[in-house]
Chain A
Amino acid sequence: NAGVTQTPKFQVLKTGQSMTLQCAQDMNHNSMYWYRQDPGMGLRLIYYSASEGTTDKGEVPNGYNVSRLNKREFSLRLESAAPSQTSVYFCASRDRGLMGNVLTFGAGSRLTVL
């Protein structure tokens, strides 16, 4: 029972490079989320998917795209990385709609953009 699994755990990119963060959950949850965590700030929502086949923008979507590949997997793509995207990224899932129950988080992916 792994919960929420994110890969990679660490990544260093040069400005302008692209990459995809992968996230998978094995709890049969409907909703999945991508957050970023920066020093001195609360987690901020980038994109979310309320159910398979749907995605919506969160608070800070600029510079990112997402794909809800199936019920288990939700990926986050940076098409042209910028230093401002240096952050720790967390994927999370929740089982009842948008608000029901608590979020289960992955271990995080630390991204550095040079």
Chain B
Amino acid sequence: KNQVEQSPQSLIILEGKNCTLQCNYTVSPFSNLRWYKQDTGRGPVSLTIMTFSENTKSNGRYTATLDADTKQSSLHITASQLSDSASYICVVSDTGGFKTIFGAGTRLFVKA
């Protein structure tokens, strides 16, 4: 069964600290993996997209990694800011274009 599992479910960190969110998937055959940020009361917004051949991609203070062999991805946030408080959703698609599976998300709280 195609699945996307994210951990932790929620995370509290202090402003200025770094954190790493995890995503494990079983979607096959794999096409691409995306990380989205969803602010409270808003729709998800794309942060990064990675294909099979890419293992690192950065977007400002956000760096995503992908290990297609172990089917794992991580999203690293550097020097967190209060505005980083949001849910982060991992989304995996298959090559046939028939399946796009969303993880349940990690809820990040950044405290002053």
Q: Which of the four size classes fits the interface of chain B?
A: 20 to 34
How many residues on the A side are at the interface (Cβ–Cβ under 8 A)?
19
Any B CB within 8 A of the CB of A40: yes
Docked-complex contact A45 and B100, CB < 8 angstroms = yes
Which residue of B is nearest A106, CB measured?
B43
The DSSP consensus for interface residues of chain B is: strand
What are some 15 contacts across the A-B interface (CB < 8 A)? A35-B102, A40-B104, A41-B104, A42-B4, A42-B89, A42-B104, A45-B100, A92-B43, A99-B93, A99-B97, A99-B100, A102-B46, A103-B44, A105-B45, A108-B41
5 shortest interchain CB distances as A-B pairs: A105-B43, A42-B102, A99-B97, A102-B46, A43-B102
Residues of A within 8 A of B (CB): 4, 35, 40-45, 90, 92, 97-99, 102-103, 105-108
Residues of B within 8 A of A (CB): 4, 31-32, 34, 41-46, 49, 89, 93, 97-98, 100-105
